[in-house]
A and B are shown apart, each in its own frame.
Chain A
Amino acid sequence: MIVDLPNTSTAAVSKRLVKLRADTGAMALSRVLTLLVVVDEADAEEAIEVANDASRQHPCRIIVVVAGNRRGAARLDGQIRVGGDAGASEVVVLRLYGPLAKHGRAVVTPLLLADSPIVAWWPAEAPKDPAADPVGAIAQRRITDAARSTGTPRSVLKRLASAYTPGDTDLAWSRVTLWRGLLAAALDQAPYEPVTAAMVVAAPDSPSGELLGGWLAARLRCPVSLARSRTGSGIISVRLERASGTVDLVRPLDGNTSVLRQPGQPDRTLALPHRSDAECLADELRRLDPDEVYEDALRKGFAAVSTSRRTAGEAVRDGAAPSPAEAERTAQRLRRAARMAGSSAMVDKMPMPADTADSEAVRKAAATKLAEVKERRS
């Protein structure tokens, strides 16, 4: 249900919210936090959708502050969305015009949930100093998105690093969680050798690549370099160098499958999908305490990462980075080697196997298969 309240006051919005909740008892849900979204008109709808998706995991009150035209008379347009239009939350959209546009904080204060955490999210342009921003100052956690802010990723991250206050975090950081998990899991296994150097290949427009490099530098205390792949390609590969050889994790361009290569072990593939914004935002809402590991990556590690002058292609030719083309071929080879048709479309069409057992036939099948495997392995 969407209720429009043109030219209104926060008191009226608040009153209407209570009334809507009372009228439709089903919506009397407990909400665990208030999510403040500060956004321009152009990005507003998309941001609300992402926030709604994320709210399915964390029921919250979403207050969207849209700064409109700053000229003209001060005016507040409200809109309340509940039920089907608002995921597991209630959404209040506040459009501010004229001099009011600068006073988002004054408008949201009466609408905050009592005694629950406040999270601020800037889906597009991040403020120069999130914690000093009036809306940011009342939030326990401030989520920026370096990938959507203007400027090169390096300059944006530098700015965020110098302004860092505990509670800051960035969606570019949550986008690399799966990569981090896999790299950490690789080091859980023998041989237990220190990593002497690391190389990250990522697009020049990807702050995630920079943060991943920063994290590796901060944690591993080894030289980390960054080579540039094509714009828009995201993170392509990570190489960790150890005495016994290199650990390579490669996700070929536009692929959702990555290849992990370690010395003395067969190549392995695994799904490494690009994470959606809603997933990342839900992840951010899961933890409301300061993220010290992000701080280390941003402030300590990021400065230590050296950007290689080589392009990704040159790095691959010099043998400094793993080749994505080869990784793609490996993935295809492994896929072909698998003894069953993998794609869901093919499996879907297969008939269900007979659910009957004939001991003699099973015994024969086992014997035949055993002979086959023995032959393959010898």
Chain B
Amino acid sequence: MSPARVTADQNPLRDPRDKRLPRIAGPCSMVLFGVTGDLARKKLMPAIYDLANRGLLPPGFSLVGFARRDWADQDFGKIVYEAVKERARTPFREEVWRTLAEGIRFVPGSFDDDGAFDLLAETVAELDEQRGTGGNHAFYLSIPPGSFATVCQQLERSGLSTPQSGSWRRVVIEKPFGRDLASARELNSIVENVFPADCVFRIDHYLGKETVQNLLALRFANQMFEPVWNANYVDHVQITMAEDIGIGGRAGYYDGIGAARDVIQNHLLQLLALTAMEEPVSFDAQGLRLEKEKVLSAVRIPADLAAGTARGQYAAGWQGGEEVVGYLDEDGVADGSRTETYAAVRLDIDTRRWAGVPFYLRTGKRLGKRVTEIAVVFKQAPHLPFKSTATEELGQNAVVIRVQPDEGVTLRFGAKVPGAQMEVRDVTMDFGYGRSFTESSPEAYERLILDMLLGEPPLFPRHEEVELSWRILDPIERFWEKKGKPPEQYVSGGWGPDSADEMMRRDGREWRLP
């Protein structure tokens, strides 16, 4: 009996049947740019600790912070520690923290300082020697896109972007991926000049959410949904992402960008693609991306953009129990700003499956509550063998995928009201994630960081997808800019401007109350 063969793709200790065995990332480190930002503190650092706590990070994993601060390693350690203490999902364990802390380094520097990047290169090389990170390093650019060019050039200049054979260098970027097609292309060429396309990971954290992945399971693992998932049965689809907060302190970023660029271009169009795409031949990155690109390329915007879109700006009002100011009165917003905080748009998909089924996308700030959902609304039954009075209260059937909060799926259908009369009324049947599965499913960022370290790209949008979604949005933005009326004011704490309701009414439909 000869010992089992071991090769790069064949590890005898791994077995597809062995579903318990965790996929642990290979030796590596992560360099985090923008450690003083909100995202880094609230999401990334806690996610890294949670991964370590779940035993999914490799031995010797190191975290290097880079920021324009005069800090020592332990100062950065303190920042990480506070972030972990406050936000980590999993319980604090001393031994996990200690092993993580051993690998914490900090590089003080500004992006235009060659010396700082030389220091980063030395630090990373030292980690390879001391902690065996094996030359594998990921660069997480949690910084404004304006600085991408400088940082990428610096990484190239200091030799950080070129791996030695047998190791990798990856770069992670966050939305916004540009502000229109031209700038997205420019941004992409900056990054892809330095890193090859398969080493660029674009994070759309929605794709890391369990519910979004469950959408694929719901559609393609079941027999009962897919047969009705087409224009024969579906009347229309509503995709909503509502936020109850205003822009907070982000006026500098938000003013001039607006809701459509901030949310529709990435999150909502990705959700649309997953809802509408055909079944991929396989669930690997290539198969999924092909189908998503196919459906995005078939999206058609309304011929009359004035009637098929709506936008608004939140006005002062009462949000929950609090009095809030209008968008134009927020600090840092330009006088008479025409940036929309609410955007709704009707899109059609020119395929046999979806011919004549409109997809309504809407997003806004300071709406009634924080909710993201996809509602597939079905047609009325073609014939109702009841007296018309019996079905007065019967609406349309619907499958609602609740992305957040209270992740789950709701089915709405008619049921007989108990009693001697025949009377049918809408009822709902609920599947709640938290009720049927683990109480604490991993944060989207945990999943995405781990996938990135493992080099598994299925959950990351490719540049082609980004381009396609800008192609959809660009004409709409241009129309708003040139011919559109200024955004309509809507009362904070409600469900958006009247023009959005009017847009639905013209089609004989109405927005769901999410």
User: Residues on B close to A: CB < 8 A?
Assistant: 1-8, 11-15, 17-22, 24-27, 36, 52-53, 55, 57-60, 67-79, 81-82, 92-99, 101-105, 107-110, 113, 115-116, 118-119, 122-123, 125-126, 129-132, 134, 166, 431-432, 435-439
Of the residues A266, A335, A339, contact of B60 by C-beta under 8 Å: A266
Do A292 and B119 touch across chains, with their CB atoms under 8 A apart? Answer: no
What's the Cα separation between A96 and B255 when bound, in Å? 70
* A73, CB-defined interface residue at 8 Å: no
Of the residues B26, B95, B102, contact of A185 by C-beta under 8 Å: B26
CB distance from B289 to the nearest CB of A (A): 25
| Contact (A340, B101) CB under 8 Å given A181-B22, A194-B4, A370-B122 | yes
What's the Cα separation between A30 and B429 when bound, in Å? 11
Q: Known pairs A184-B11, A192-B6. 19 more at Cβ < 8 A? A: A32-B437, A57-B439, A58-B438, A184-B21, A187-B6, A187-B13, A189-B134, A195-B4, A221-B1, A256-B95, A265-B27, A334-B102, A342-B97, A342-B102, A344-B94, A344-B98, A362-B109, A362-B116, A366-B115
List the 8 closest A-B pairs by CB distance, nearest first.
Answer: A353-B75, A268-B60, A268-B59, A340-B74, A184-B13, A338-B102, A185-B24, A270-B59
* A133, CB-defined interface residue at 8 Å: no
What's the Cα separation between A267 and B59 when bound, in Å? 9
User: Residues on A close to B: CB < 8 A?
Assistant: 29-30, 32, 56-59, 88, 174, 177-178, 180-185, 187-190, 192-196, 216, 219-222, 256-257, 260, 262, 265-273, 283, 287, 291-293, 334-335, 337-344, 347-348, 350-359, 361-363, 365-367, 369-370, 373-374, 376-377
What's the Cα separation between A259 and B12 when bound, in Å? 22
Do B24 and A366 touch across chains, with their CB atoms under 8 A apart? Answer: no
Q: Which residues on the A side are within 8 Å of B78 (C-beta)? A: 347, 350-353
Q: Which residue of B lies closest to A347 (CB)?
A: B81
Q: Which residues on the A side are within 8 Å of B98 (C-beta)? A: 257, 271, 335, 342-344
| Contact (A344, B59) CB under 8 Å given A30-B432, A370-B119 | no
CB distance from A44 to the nearest CB of B (A): 25
CB distance from A100 to the nearest CB of B (A): 34
Q: Which residue of A lies closest to B97 (CB)?
A: A344
CB distance from A119 to the nearest CB of B (A): 15
CB distance from A355 to the nearest CB of B (A): 7
Do B129 and A362 touch across chains, with their CB atoms under 8 A apart? Answer: no
Do A178 and B118 touch across chains, with their CB atoms under 8 A apart? Answer: no
- Chain A-chain B contacts (Cβ-Cβ < 8 Å), number: 242
What's the Cα separation between A265 and B131 when bound, in Å? 8
Q: Which residues on the A side are within 8 Å of B101 (C-beta)? A: 338, 340-342, 347
What's the Cα separation between A256 and B224 when bound, in Å? 48
Of the residues A56, A184, A265, contact of B439 by C-beta under 8 Å: A56
| Contact (A190, B8) CB under 8 Å given A185-B58, A266-B132, A271-B55 | yes
What's the Cα separation between A267 and B99 when bound, in Å? 13
What's the Cα separation between A326 and B455 when bound, in Å? 35
Do A363 and B132 touch across chains, with their CB atoms under 8 A apart? Answer: no
Do B2 and A221 touch across chains, with their CB atoms under 8 A apart? Answer: yes
Q: Which residue of B lies closest to A265 (CB)?
A: B132
Do A373 and B55 touch across chains, with their CB atoms under 8 A apart? Answer: no
What's the Cα separation between A348 and B80 when bound, in Å? 11
CB distance from A245 to the nearest CB of B (A): 14
Q: Which residues on the B side are within 8 Å of A358 (C-beta)? A: 70
Do B27 and A283 touch across chains, with their CB atoms under 8 A apart? Answer: no
What's the Cα separation between A28 and B334 when bound, in Å? 51
What's the Cα separation between A292 and B19 when bound, in Å? 10
CB distance from A68 to the nearest CB of B (A): 34
Of the residues A269, A363, A365, contact of B99 by C-beta under 8 Å: A269
Do B95 and A220 touch across chains, with their CB atoms under 8 A apart? Answer: no
What's the Cα separation between A86 and B102 when bound, in Å? 40
Do A174 and B20 touch across chains, with their CB atoms under 8 A apart? Answer: yes
What's the Cα separation between A32 and B250 when bound, in Å? 43
Do B6 and A339 touch across chains, with their CB atoms under 8 A apart? Answer: no
What's the Cα separation between A359 and B115 when bound, in Å? 13
Of the residues B4, B20, B79, contact of A177 by C-beta under 8 Å: B20
Q: Which residue of A lies closest to B58 (CB)?
A: A185
Of the residues B19, B94, B119, contact of A343 by C-beta under 8 Å: B94
CB distance from B283 to the nearest CB of A (A): 19
Q: Which residues on the B side are within 8 Å of A363 (C-beta)? A: 109-110, 113, 115-116
Do B81 and A348 touch across chains, with their CB atoms under 8 A apart? Answer: yes
Q: Which residue of B lies closest to A350 (CB)?
A: B78
Do B68 and A221 touch across chains, with their CB atoms under 8 A apart? Answer: no
What's the Cα separation between A185 and B20 when bound, in Å? 14
| Contact (A362, B110) CB under 8 Å given A184-B13, A266-B60 | yes
What's the Cα separation between A136 and B137 when bound, in Å? 50
Q: Which residue of A lies closest to B166 (CB)?
A: A190
Of the residues A177, A184, A271, contact of B96 by C-beta under 8 Å: A271
Of the residues B71, B126, B132, B439, contact of A373 by C-beta under 8 Å: B126
What's the Cα separation between A196 and B2 when bound, in Å? 9
Q: Which residues on the A side are within 8 Å of B53 (C-beta)? A: 271
* A-B contacts, 11 listed (Cβ < 8 Å): A189-B27, A192-B8, A194-B2, A195-B4, A270-B59, A352-B82, A353-B79, A355-B69, A362-B69, A366-B109, A377-B125
- Most A CB contacts (10 A, CB to CB) among B11, B59, B60, B110 go to B59
Do B118 and A271 touch across chains, with their CB atoms under 8 A apart? Answer: no
| Contact (A194, B60) CB under 8 Å given A266-B132, A370-B119 | no
What's the Cα separation between A355 and B110 when bound, in Å? 15
What's the Cα separation between A68 and B166 when bound, in Å? 63
Do B36 and A355 touch across chains, with their CB atoms under 8 A apart? Answer: yes
| Contact (A188, B70) CB under 8 Å given A181-B55, A369-B108 | no
What's the Cα separation between A273 and B52 when bound, in Å? 12
What's the Cα separation between A226 and B115 when bound, in Å? 53
Do B77 and A347 touch across chains, with their CB atoms under 8 A apart? Answer: yes
Q: Which residues on the B side are within 8 Å of A335 (C-beta)? A: 98, 102
Do B17 and A293 touch across chains, with their CB atoms under 8 A apart? Answer: yes
Q: Which residues on the B side are within 8 Å of A293 (C-beta)? A: 15, 17-18, 20-21
What's the Cα separation between A88 and B440 when bound, in Å? 12
Q: Which residue of B lies closest to A346 (CB)?
A: B74
| Contact (A337, B130) CB under 8 Å given A59-B435, A182-B59 | yes
Q: Which residues on the B side are within 8 Å of A195 (C-beta)? A: 3-4, 6, 12
Q: Which residues on the B side are within 8 Å of A88 (C-beta)? A: 439
What's the Cα separation between A271 and B8 when bound, in Å? 26
- Most A CB contacts (10 A, CB to CB) among B7, B21, B98, B123 go to B98
CB distance from A356 to the nearest CB of B (A): 8
Q: Which residues on the A side are within 8 Å of B116 (C-beta)? A: 362-363, 366
Q: Which residues on the B side are within 8 Å of A292 (C-beta)? A: 17
Q: Which residue of B lies closest to A169 (CB)?
A: B20
What's the Cα separation between A177 and B22 when bound, in Å? 8
CB distance from B52 to the nearest CB of A (A): 7
Q: Which residues on the B side are within 8 Å of A190 (C-beta)? A: 8, 166
CB distance from B109 to the nearest CB of A (A): 5
